[in-house]
Amino acid sequence: MLMQSVQASDPELTKDFQVPAGINAADIDGTFFTSEALRNVTPNVASPFATVTTANLVAPAKAPFLAVDGLGVSMALLQFPPGTVNPPHTHPRGTELLFIIEGTLDVGLVDTTNKLFTNTLYKGDIFAFPKGLVHFQINNDKYKTVTALGGFSSSNAGLVRLPNTLFNTSTPISDKVLQISFGISGDVVKALRAQFA
């Protein structure tokens, strides 16, 4: 019996960098390798959630950073106004290294045995979130904003935010599935759907 191993990861490049379709390699200059996606970003202080600005192959808020295609790297700027959270989520295609630029941030991750690992990070600390594991961050400071930089081992690590994934899908998950899974009533499911709509 032949066994095959399959992994979801960035393909290995066999050249220095990937030239996007429709672009002549001779026309590429230093601007191709530069992203301004993280420049002059202001956090949304009205939201209960951290402001996350990405510089990756599919960055939605800014132009995609095409230079990282096939390189297996990308970044994100995370800004946590007081009391904000980056809700439980996963990156199915990449490991994340989180570097604290300013402030104090509480973080946690859950492994596949359901063990929770938490720590409080300070300016200059780095925390590793392994690919695919559920993790979160919260700024428990009432007065100071936390700024962090996330580095990813993928040009598009992907993002699965659990609250949105479970309660705000394009085609809703059955109320019955959610009620049984979480041991909650239909009214709670409806309230959660409304909150994440």
Residues 109 and 75 in one domain: yes
Is 135 annotated in a binding site? The answer is yes
Is 96 annotated in a binding site? The answer is yes
Q: What is the CATH number of the domain that holds 145?
A: 2.60.120.10
Position 178 in a domain: yes
DSSP string for residues in 57-92: TT-SSS---GGGTTT--EEEEEEE-TT-EEEEEE-T
| Count of domains for the chain | 2
Q: What is the DSSP letter of 49?
A: B
Phi, psi of 127 (to 5 degrees): -130, 140
pTM for this one? 0.87
Is 91 annotated in a binding site? The answer is yes
- Residue 128 host element (H or E): strand 126-129
Question: Tens of pLDDT along 5-38?
Answer: 555 666 677 788 999 888 999 999 999 999 999 9
Cα–Cα distance for residue pair 135/87, rounded to 1 Å: 8
Position 98 in a domain: yes
The pLDDT of residue 66 is 92
Residues 53 and 144 in one domain: yes
